[in-house]
A and B are shown apart, each in its own frame.
Chain A
Amino acid sequence: KNQVEQSPQSLIILEGKNCTLQCNYTVSPFSNLRWYKQDTGRGPVSLTIMTFSENTKSNGRYTATLDADTKQSSLHITASQLSDSASYICVVSYGGSQGNLIFGKGTKLSVKP
């Protein structure tokens, strides 16, 4: 069964600290892996899209890694800011031209001053 599992479910960190969010997937055939940021009450916004051949991709203070062999991805946030408080959703695309996507349940990050 195609699944995307994220950990931790929630996380609280102090402003300025770094953190890493995890995503494990069992999806086949794999097409790409995406990370989205969803602020409370808003729609998800894309952070990165990684294909099979990419193992690192950065977007400002966000760095995503992908290990296609172990089917794991991580999202590292550097020097966190209060505005980083949000849910971070891992999404895996597989098969089909219409874009079949499996969404993880997300990690809720709270950054405290």
Chain B
Amino acid sequence: NAGVTQTPKFRVLKTGQSMTLLCAQDMNHEYMYWYRQDPGMGLRLIHYSVGEGTTAKGEVPDGYNVSRLKKQNFLLGLESAAPSQTSVYFCASTVTGRTGELFFGEGSRLTVL
């Protein structure tokens, strides 16, 4: 039972570099989310998707882009990384957005120097 898988788990970037975080789920969930978790703060929603081919902005979308070309995958991109994007990123998925149990990946720790 893989559930939600995030890759990579760790990454160090220099300011201005780009990268993509991959989230894959094998539960046939419609809804997928990208969150960031910073010390002393609750998880904050970056972008989300309610189905294949759809994406929408969350609370803190600036500096990030996403794509959901396949139902099982949700990609988070940083086009020009900044130190403020140093964080732990979590992907999550659920069957139904409002009431469904949210399943999280193990997180991707990103450091931007």
Which A residues contact B (CB, under 8 angstroms)?
A: 4, 31-32, 34, 41-46, 49, 51, 89, 93, 96-99, 101-106
Contact = CB atoms under 8 A, between A and B. Distances in A.
Contacts of B43: 44, 89, 103
A4 B42 contact: yes
A99 B40 CA distance: 23
Interface of B: 4, 31, 40-45, 48, 50, 56, 90, 92, 94, 96-107
Secondary structure type dominating chain B contacts: loop
A102 B42 contact: yes
B106 A96 contact: no
A109 to B, nearest CB: 17
A99 B42 contact: no
Contact of A49 (B4, B92, B99): B99
A16 B98 CA distance: 36
